[in-house]
Amino acid sequence: MEIRQYYEDIRRENLRLVKDLLAGKHPGQPVPEFVTDEYGDGEKKPTSVYMTSVRNRERETQAGHTCLVAIWDQKGNPGVAATRIVEGTHRVATAEEIEAYLKRQQEQKRYHEDADLKFDSRARQFRVSLPE
């Protein structure tokens, strides 16, 4: 694939992705945010999208991992999401995959909070004050 064609595919995929997200074709995705540019002009556009990895032998990716990916980079150019779709390593996540991902994230957060509480209570239990 030529380099020009590669970047043209990324731009085209990014436009299609943004259009689909604004049209609501992918349920469960983050709500588009109101974004202003450096000139003060603003518009509502999606800033991130949930994606799920697909098996790709060339890139050695495994299927089924969901993550939140940026659609635009800091300069406003097409970001990681379109690149991952064009390279064939990811696809837009379904509502069920997003729900499972968020549930797993909450369970992990709860587990770590419980572990922190246990550690903190044990640390308080063994504190010794030395005589002055």
Q: Which domain holds residue 48?
A: 3-93
Q: Look at residue 106 and tell me if it is in a domain.
A: no
Q: What is the pLDDT of residue 82?
A: 93
Q: Look at residue 103 and tell me if it is in a domain.
A: no
Q: Look at residue 48 and tell me if it is in a domain.
A: yes
Q: Look at residue 114 and tell me if it is in a domain.
A: no
pLDDT tens digits along 6-18? 999 999 999 999 9
Q: How far is the C-alpha of 65 from the C-alpha of 73, rounded, in Å?
A: 22
Q: How confident is the model at residue 106 (pLDDT cuts 50, 70, 90)?
A: very high
Residue 50 reports pLDDT greater than 90: yes
Q: What is the pLDDT of residue 52?
A: 94
Neighbours of 21 (CB within 10 A): 22
Looking at the 3D structure of the chain, how many domains does it have?
1
- Residue 104 host element (H or E): helix 95-125
Residues pairing with 44 in the sheet = 34
Residues pairing with 52 in the sheet = 66, 91
Q: Which residue has the higher pLDDT, 79 or 69?
A: 69
Q: What is the pLDDT of residue 28?
A: 87
Helix (H, G, I), strand (E, B) or coil at 76: coil
The rounded radius of gyration (Å) of the Cα atoms in the chain is: 21
Average pLDDT over residues 85-96: 92
